[in-house]
Structure 1
Amino acid sequence: MADEANRSAFMEIQGRMIDLTAKLKQVQNQMRNKEGEKKRAYLTLEELRQLSDDTNAYKSIGRTFVLEPKSFLVNEQEQKLKDSEASLASLQTSKEYLEKQLAEVENNLRELLQQDPGLARQIMSMAVM
């Protein structure tokens, strides 16, 4: 009876670990994408700042290009930069939370396996097959 309870507890912990790992990878991918957006906005902003203030430049909208004043484009890139930084801060918080949750689940799994060495042997024999 206790063996079956430990087995079901292991399955539950394993499912939670898989779920948390997937969420963590998703957050890391989102962070990587936001880093790219931030870098593009920064580089575009640096190039725009080299132009004189009365210059008009083309902005890409899909496959169309629209002529815009430099000040409008600079403001737009600065806003993209701020938004990316805010998103990165939020994603970093989520990442830290998920890492703590994952560490907690790993500790729960470790405690369960130390509590029932027979379960650990069963799992190892299933993994070998």
Structure 2
Amino acid sequence: MIDLTGKLKQVQTQMRNKEGDRKRAYLTLEELRPLPDNTNTYKSIGRTFLLEPKSVLEAEQEQKFKDSEATIASLQTSKENLEKKIAEVENSLRELLQQEPGIARQIMSMSM
């Protein structure tokens, strides 16, 4: 149960990060599209800026957007599977505790 919960939190964090990447790519595309084709555009690499054609930057941002969406969809599937497994483990624990009240008492005495 603890392992599954940790994995679920990790997947949720990855989803939030990819969602941020997707939003940044979308907003960058929205800013690039209205610019004329002959506009000087620069790509940031660390603390350096490289002159790049607008079309190259647009293509990179579109690819980042698509990759992020695909990753988010994959992570969503993983999240749903983990949630199902957690529900199954909870049900199994609940059944075990109902069948063996002595185990429930032991668990309660350990937590205090």
The interval holding the TM-score normalised by the smaller chain is over 0.9
Partners of 1:85 and 1:66 in 2: how far apart? 27
Map residues 66-77 of structure 1 onto 2, 5 A cutoff.
66-77=50-61
Unaligned runs of at least 5 residues, structure 2: none
1:23 corresponds in structure 2 to 7
Deviation at 1:122, TM superposition (A): 1.6
- Paired residue for 1:65? 49
Alpha-carbon RMSD: 0.7
Of 111, 115, 119, the residue aligned with 2:95 is 111
Distance 2:58 2:37 in 1: 10
Provide the rounded CA distance (Å) in 1 between the counterparts of 2:29 and 2:40. Answer: 14
Deviates more, 1:95-104 or 1:48-57: 48-57
Q: Which of 96, 109, 115 is the matching residue for 2:80?
A: 96
Amino acid at match of 1:60: S
Cα offsets for 1:83-125 (capped at 9, x unmatched): 0000000000000000001111111100110010111112112
Count of residue correspondences: 112
Unaligned runs of 5+ in 1: 1-16
For residue 37 of structure 1, what is the aligned residue in structure 2? 21
* Aligned-partner Cα distance in 1 for 2:64–2:42: 17
- Following the alignment from structure 1 to structure 2, what is the Cα–Cα distance between the partners of residues 84 and 49? 20
- CA–CA distance in structure 2, aligned partners of residues 58 and 22 of structure 1: 40
Computing the radius of gyration over CA atoms, which structure comes out larger, 1 or 2? 1
Instruction: Verify: 1:121 aligned to 2:99, yes or no.
Output: no
- Name the counterpart of 2:62: 78
User: Shift of residue 56 of structure 1?
Assistant: 2.2
Percent of residue pairs identical? 79
